[in-house]
Structure 1
Amino acid sequence: MPPIRVGFLGLSQSGWAPGAHLPYLQASPDYEIVAICNSSVESSKKAIKLYSLSDATKAYGDPEELANDPNIDLVVCSVRVDRHLKTISPALKAGKDVYVEWPLGKSLAEAKELLRLKNEGGVKNAVVGLQARQAPLIKKVKEIIESGKIGEVFSSTWVGQGSVGGEVTTEGYEYLTRRDVGGNLVTIHFGHAIDFVQSVLGYGFQAPPKTLLANRRKFQKILGSDGKVIDEKRPKTSDDTIFLHGTVSSGIPLSFSLRGGKPFPGIPGMDWTIHGEKGTIRITSPTPFVQIGYEGMKIEVQDGEGEKVEVAEIVGDEFDGFKHPARNVGRLYKGLKNREINCSFEDAVDRHALIEEIYRENGIQE
């Protein structure tokens, strides 16, 4: 079969796309990048040259032109979330298959609008990048539970530190400090984490969970690309403290806590326990970003309430040859080639609805 022809929105000279999307797209015979659309035609031409793409790769500066290109099968959107609606809408209206980063939109309203456009455009394959579901670590945790090794799951506790929202941030990620942009610790970091937690324990809640959001650090120091301070005290409006307590649809009580900033020295960036009648699973990681993946992620299983603890083997696959950011994204692309939708637009709207409910409970308008 001929490769899937990709039109890429947002393949810039830095950021997430080059490290996460490009490695698999260039290595796999199942995909071929045939067009780039950045903020200008000139920017697209620079990306084509920088990443040694084919001379036949088209350069666009307008998402409408990309969407109208008959030689594109799949449009990939990896731009800032507040630009998703504008950049991906033309592709949905044209009936193109799409892969959009999470969050789907900057708000529930935008996510619903993109879902409407997807349905009206008759798009057959639309996927959202909640790729931690594909992680071998998550699959292994599910396998342990399904094997009955810890028996019935009684409860789960998740604690993480999100790195962003701390004392210092860089100019390139300054937008994370502004709630109005739609990409922040709540929507991105909490959104990814609560999704992979629920992919293990069960989606939905028996009743709306009790939540608390707070913006405790009102200012941040901003560093330029050279590491020098460009602003000692930039106002911050996005939340840096997130607590959630509730019972998921499967009946498992869940306690979830995420804060901004770096973890205390010697403490894991993520410490997640799943307690069962016959034992407990403990999942630890240097960061909570399972969707990216890092060295040092570990699964341990306690036998009953005793001292015996085993380290569970996380079996690798062909994606281990890539750097971590490209692994789960590559797994998603492989599934998409076989028409497997990792996270549908409908799923994403449900995740957005949970976040809007959390905002509403805390008196915040998206």
Structure 2
Amino acid sequence: MAQLAKGLKVVTGLQFRADPLITKAKQLVDSGAIGQITSTTATGCFNNYPADTWNAKADYFLNFKGGANEYTISFAHFLDSFRYIVGDFANLHSVVDIQYPTVKLVDFTTGEVTDPARKKTSPDHIFVNGKLESGAVASLSFRKVTKTVDGKGLRWLISGTKGELEITIDGPNFQMDIAKKQLRLVDNSVGVTQDIDFTDAQELAYVKSVPAMGQNTSRLCEKYVAAPTEVANFDDALKLHQLLDKIAAAANYPYKA
């Protein structure tokens, strides 16, 4: 598909990079606000439901081969924005694992347990360490929990020679604009941490009328029209899937997509 799309104006559904939070963070990094990146650390979690429970109507999420699961959606959306802001891995080693090999399937409409021990092949813990093409070092850790101690679904630090950025999001589903978010910056020369306003003053009014789960998709569509180089194309999607495959392979993950 990527080959067939050569020369065409295309977009793929990686809407997290259209989030104003990510757009602003990239602008700050590209402007040199934190200097040369030296390291980046991200800690995230998957807690849509209790760790030992899953929605019976989304049973397919539990299969690694199905292509739609927490690894290829939630983690992948983060990983795309990670590549977008700080670049790709030059080398890496990883641990990809299942700590909850069986889960209870529940029909959330009726409360009925449809399967008390549904086997799962999609991973729920992902740890990646490595060096980026820029020379910076990186550490990513994503875990499965029922509740986080601090309420944060994502805490991402980008450290540089002049300062540091922190991105935090309450709750999972980073690609959807449904949780409280914060962007903070500390400039070494000033030494005071400040909250950064990432509101897009030029955003079209209709976007705010879209249900929260679809707002970043609306922003993605608008960027596709106004700034097509800022959206993910098929080449980006291909490189993302190659990186996901590389992470799983480096961990000798026993299930194949």
TM class, shorter-chain normalised? 0.7 to 0.9
The correspondence of residues 59-74 of structure 1 with structure 2, limited to 5 A, is none
Hey, what's the Cα distance between the residues in 1 that align with 2:189 and 2:98? 38
Instruction: Return 5+ residue gaps in structure 1 as ranges.
Output: 1-113
CA RMSD of aligned residues (A): 2.3
Hey, what's the Cα distance between the residues in 1 that align with 2:140 and 2:147? 16
Q: Is the 8 A contact 2:94 2:127 kept in 1?
A: yes
The residue aligned with 2:130 is 246
Given candidates 83, 93, 99, the residue that maps to 1:210 is 93
Q: Is the 8 A contact 2:18 2:223 kept in 1?
A: no
Give the Å deviation of 1:123. 8.3
Hey, what's the Cα distance between the residues in 1 that align with 2:45 and 2:126? 10
- Look up the equivalent residue of 1:215 and give its one-letter code: I
Given candidates 200, 208, 212, the residue that maps to 1:324 is 212
Instruction: Return 5+ residue gaps in structure 2 as ranges.
Output: none
The correspondence of residues 91-102 of structure 1 with structure 2, limited to 5 A, is none
Tell me, what secondary structure is at the counterpart of 1:271? strand
Given candidates 143, 146, 152, the residue that maps to 2:27 is 143
Change (3 A) 1:322 1:246: same
- Look up the equivalent residue of 2:237 and give its one-letter code: A
Give the Å deviation of 1:164. 4.8
Give the Å deviation of 1:212. 0.9
The correspondence of residues 72-91 of structure 1 with structure 2, limited to 5 A, is none
Change (3 A) 1:170 1:145: same
Change (3 A) 1:295 1:186: closer
The residue aligned with 2:55 is 170
Hey, what's the Cα distance between the residues in 2 that align with 1:177 and 1:226? 21
1:154 equivalent to 2:38? Answer yes
The residue aligned with 1:220 is 103
Q: Percent identity?
A: 26
Given candidates 94, 112, 115, the residue that maps to 2:2 is 115
Give the Å deviation of 1:336. 3.1
Q: Is the 8 A contact 1:135 1:290 kept in 2?
A: no
Q: Is the 8 A contact 1:298 1:311 kept in 2?
A: yes
After superposition, what is the alpha-carbon deviation per residue over 1:1-28, rounded to whole angstroms, capped at 9, x for unaligned?
Answer: xxxxxxxxxxxxxxxxxxxxxxxxxxxx
The residue aligned with 2:118 is 234
Q: Which has the higher strand share?
A: 2
The residue aligned with 2:75 is 190
Give the Å deviation of 1:211. 0.9
Tell me, what secondary structure is at the counterpart of 1:127? coil
Change (3 A) 1:251 1:139: same
Number of aligned pairs?
Answer: 248
Given candidates 247, 250, 253, the residue that maps to 1:358 is 247
After superposition, what is the alpha-carbon deviation per residue over 1:71-99, rounded to whole angstroms, capped at 9, x for unaligned?
Answer: xxxxxxxxxxxxxxxxxxxxxxxxxxxxx
Q: Is the 8 A contact 1:272 1:283 kept in 2?
A: yes
- Look up the equivalent residue of 2:241 and give its one-letter code: H
Q: Is the 8 A contact 1:263 1:269 kept in 2?
A: no
The correspondence of residues 292-303 of structure 1 with structure 2, limited to 5 A, is 292-303=176-187
Hey, what's the Cα distance between the residues in 2 that align with 1:288 and 1:159? 11
Hey, what's the Cα distance between the residues in 1 that align with 2:147 and 2:188? 29
Q: Is the 8 A contact 2:47 2:172 kept in 1?
A: no
The residue aligned with 1:74 is none
Give the Å deviation of 1:181. 1.0
Hey, what's the Cα distance between the residues in 2 that align with 1:314 and 1:320? 15
Q: Is the 8 A contact 2:11 2:233 kept in 1?
A: yes
Change (3 A) 1:307 1:131: same
Hey, what's the Cα distance between the residues in 2 that align with 1:276 and 1:262? 33
- Look up the equivalent residue of 2:83 and give its one-letter code: Q
Tell me, what secondary structure is at the counterpart of 2:89? coil
Change (3 A) 1:335 1:144: closer
The residue aligned with 1:308 is 192
Hey, what's the Cα distance between the residues in 2 that align with 1:338 and 1:274? 28
Hey, what's the Cα distance between the residues in 1 that align with 2:2 and 2:163? 41
| Greater relative CO (CA pairs within 8 A, separation 6+) | 2
Structure showing greater Rg = 1
Q: Is the 8 A contact 1:164 1:260 kept in 2?
A: no
Tell me, what secondary structure is at the counterpart of 1:189? helix
- Look up the equivalent residue of 2:248 and give its one-letter code: Y
Q: Is the 8 A contact 1:160 1:287 kept in 2?
A: no
After superposition, what is the alpha-carbon deviation per residue over 1:226-253, rounded to whole angstroms, capped at 9, x for unaligned?
Answer: 2332222211111111001112222221
Given candidates 221, 225, 233, the residue that maps to 1:344 is 233
Tell me, what secondary structure is at the counterpart of 2:167? strand
- Look up the equivalent residue of 2:97 and give its one-letter code: A
Normalised to the residue count of structure 1, the TM-score between the two structures is: 0.62
